[in-house]
Amino acid sequence: MFGYRVPAPDEAMLISGGNRGNTDAPFRVVTGHGAFIMPFFRKVRFLTLSMAEAEVTEICVTKQAIALNVRAVIAFKVGNDEVSIVNAGQRFLSDQDQMAVLTGRIFAGHLRSIVGSMTVEEIVTERQKLATEVLDGSKVEMAKIGLTVDSLQIQSIDDMKLGYIAAMAAPHNAAIQRDAQIAQARADQAAAEAGQQSQRTQAEYARQTSIVQAQYKAEVDKAQAVAAQSGPLAQATAQREVINARTELAQREAELRQQQLVAEVVKPANAEAERIRILAQADAEKMRIQAEAAASNNRVALDRMLIDQLPQIVREAAVGLQGANINILNGADGLGEIAAGLVGQGLSILESVKKGLSGSTPAAPSTPGTEVAKAE
């Protein structure tokens, strides 16, 4: 926008002209934002707020009147507050490079002053103390011109080939060299002892190794000799063990075969014989029962047949008596007795036949009181 100005992040915008209020500053300070500038009525200038560096190389005389060439580097900038910006703007706005020159001169003076109050030994060994005292001495003066110091580094201290610093360092160097030599000697001694110990260790190792190897060789030779001597015996023992194992195997196989034969032949044969015996007994018992039944049936049938033939026998006997001359003594009673005798004879014949079938021949019973006359 026309007339609107904005400073950079590391700049301060200084606006002069117009009403500045109650401030005594010859210009208005603007940082971090923009402002509208009326043309022809306001004038704008910019002051850098970035870091700057100043180098100081100064010949300083110490408390011992020994001249030292001291080189230092100062890092500084314009303060961020409005007072510091106003002070720096009034002094360096037209030529901002003069800030480094003026800063160097200020620190050179303070450096000479501080070095003059110290010895060479203090300056060499306590550089941070020197830098701190120089900063403290220049702080107020730097604030008046609107500058702040961020750091001060003592780069080098040189006695300009006088040899004081070298002489001062000589005892320390000698001590360091002596300590270094002693340390080197100790290190060499330790290395030599270590080497000797290593040689002794190697020798002991070689000796132990040779002993172990000799023992091992002796054990191997002994084992080989024992093996050579016990070879035939071991072979015979092995063969005997093989024969025993085979014999035991054959015995177990025979036992197993016997068990198989018993299971496959003997037991089935015994079972079959027992079955046949039982069947034979059953058949014999059956035949006995059948024979008894048949005999019983035959006797019953024979008895029945004889009984059935008895009338025929009596009839035939009567027929035989028809032509016989029989004297009947007692009349009708005598005739009855003859008939009864014929019947009795038939019964006797029947009983004789039955006994004959049974294996015995009984005598024929006589009929008491009856007399049969023989035929003439």
Selected residue with higher pLDDT from 153 and 19: 153
Higher pLDDT, 337 or 179: 179
Q: Give the model's pLDDT for residue 376.
A: 33
Kindly provide the b/e burial profile for residues 313-330, where b requires at least 16 CB atoms within 10 angstroms of the residue's own CB.
Answer: bbeeeeeeeeeeeeeeee
Token representation of residue 253: 């196989």
**What's residue 366's pLDDT?**
43
Whether the model clears a pTM of 0.95, i.e. scores above it, the answer is no
Most confident among 5-9, 229-233, 343-347 (mean pLDDT): 5-9
pLDDT at position 170, please?
A: 82
**pLDDT of amino acid 216:** 82
Residue-level pLDDT at 69: 93
Return the number of other C-beta atoms located less than 10 Å from residue 82's C-beta.
14
108-113: long-range contacts, CB 8 A cutoff, minimum separation 24: 108/56, 108/58, 110/134, 110/137, 110/138, 110/141, 111/56, 111/58, 111/60, 111/70, 111/72, 112/58, 112/60, 112/61, 113/137
For 212-225, how does the pLDDT look when each residue is reduced to its tens digit (9 = 90+)? 888 888 888 887 77
pLDDT attached to residue 371? 39
- What pLDDT does residue 320 have? 57
| Predicted pLDDT of residue 21 | 54
Q: Of the segments 62-71, 158-167, 304-313, which one has the largest average pLDDT value?
A: 62-71
Q: What per-residue confidence (pLDDT) applies to 249? A: 84
Instruction: Give residue 70's pLDDT.
Output: 93
**97-101, 110-114, 226-230, 315-319: least confidently modelled range:** 315-319
Per-residue pLDDT of 251-287, as tens digits, reads 888 888 888 878 887 788 888 888 888 888 888 888 8
User: Nearest CA to 130 among 139, 119, 143?
Assistant: 119
**pLDDT above 90 for 243:** no
Residue that wins the pLDDT comparison between 335 and 92: 92
- pLDDT at residue number 107: 92
**Please, what is the average pLDDT of the chain?**
79
What is the model's pLDDT at position 100?
92
Average pLDDT rounded to a whole number, residues 333-337? 58
Cα separation, 45 vs 7, in Å, equals: 10
Name the one residue in this structure whose structure tokens are 């314009």: 78
Main-chain phi, psi angles of 79, to 5 degrees: -60, 155
